[in-house]
């Protein structure tokens, strides 16, 4: 099931605009975020999550992720996608399941004809917050600030939007620009 938290599905095919779909893969919840990039300007298009039913079999859950991303590709028509790279957990079974969810997502994007880039969580956080070890609330707050959102997006949507933002800015350096003159204090910009 796809849960949208806002935005529209207008086309990005007008001059110089690149539409980017960010994906934060997960077996239970896969976050997505869509932005338009025109030069250095970024505009929020939409975000939300794809939820799989924990009572279904693994193949059915992977099918939900695949179908959900294919549906989003059709609806938003992004030219590029950015997907977070899986980190290694202490629990190898969790890492394997997350890798399978990520694979289903990448397969859906490639099957939709979308160029896919991959970034580690450290690269994404460095690009958006300026600190590769930022916590989720810091990422949410910076995504809100960078995209001029009325409120913090959900953690999964924020991570996906952050992935798209990092891709839009080459995966590095944005955090330093975005926070120039600002400083972090207890997880918030001061």
In the annotation, is 159 catalytic?
Answer: no
The answer for residues whose C-beta is within 8 angstroms of residue 152's C-beta and 6 or more apart is 137, 140, 141, 143, 144, 158
Name the DSSP letter for residue 48: E
Kindly list the distances between the CA atom of residue 71 and the CA atoms of 34, 65, 185, in Å, as whole numbers in the listed order: 13, 10, 40
Choosing from 74, 115, 156, 159, which is the catalytic residue? 156
**Of 148, 141, 149, whose CA–CA distance to 175 is shortest?**
141
Does residue 24 have an active-site annotation? Answer: yes
Determine whether 181 is exposed, middle or buried from the number of CB atoms within 10 Å of its CB (0-12, 13-18, 19+): exposed
Of 84, 118, 135, 152, which is the active-site residue? 84
DSSP string, 6-42: EE------STT-EEEEEEE--SSEEEEEEEEEETTEE
- 56 noted as active-site residue: no
* Catalytic machinery residues: 24, 84, 156
């Amino acid at each position: 099931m796809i849960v949208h938290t806002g935005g529209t599905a207008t086309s990005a095919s007008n001059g110089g605009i690149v539409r980017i779909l960010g994906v934060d893969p997960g077996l239970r919840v896969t976050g997505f975020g869509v932005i338009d990039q025109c030069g250095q300007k970024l505009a929020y298009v939409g975000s939300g999550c794809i939820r799989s039913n924990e009572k279904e079999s693994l193949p059915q859950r992977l099918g939900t992720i695949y179908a959900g991303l294919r549906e989003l590709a059709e609806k938003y028509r992004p030219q590029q996608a950015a997907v977070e790279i899986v980190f290694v957990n202490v629990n190898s079974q969790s890492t394997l399941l997350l890798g399978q969810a990520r694979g289903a997502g990448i397969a859906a994007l490639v099957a939709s004809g979308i160029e896919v880039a991959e970034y580690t969580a450290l690269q994404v956080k460095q690009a958006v917050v300026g600190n590769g070890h930022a916590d989720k609330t810091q990422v949410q707050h910076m995504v809100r600030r960078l995209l001029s959102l009325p409120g913090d997006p959900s953690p999964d949507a924020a991570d996906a939007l952050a992935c798209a933002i990092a891709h839009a800015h080459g995966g590095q350096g944005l955090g330093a620009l975005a926070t120039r003159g600002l400083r972090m204090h207890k997880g918030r910009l001061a």
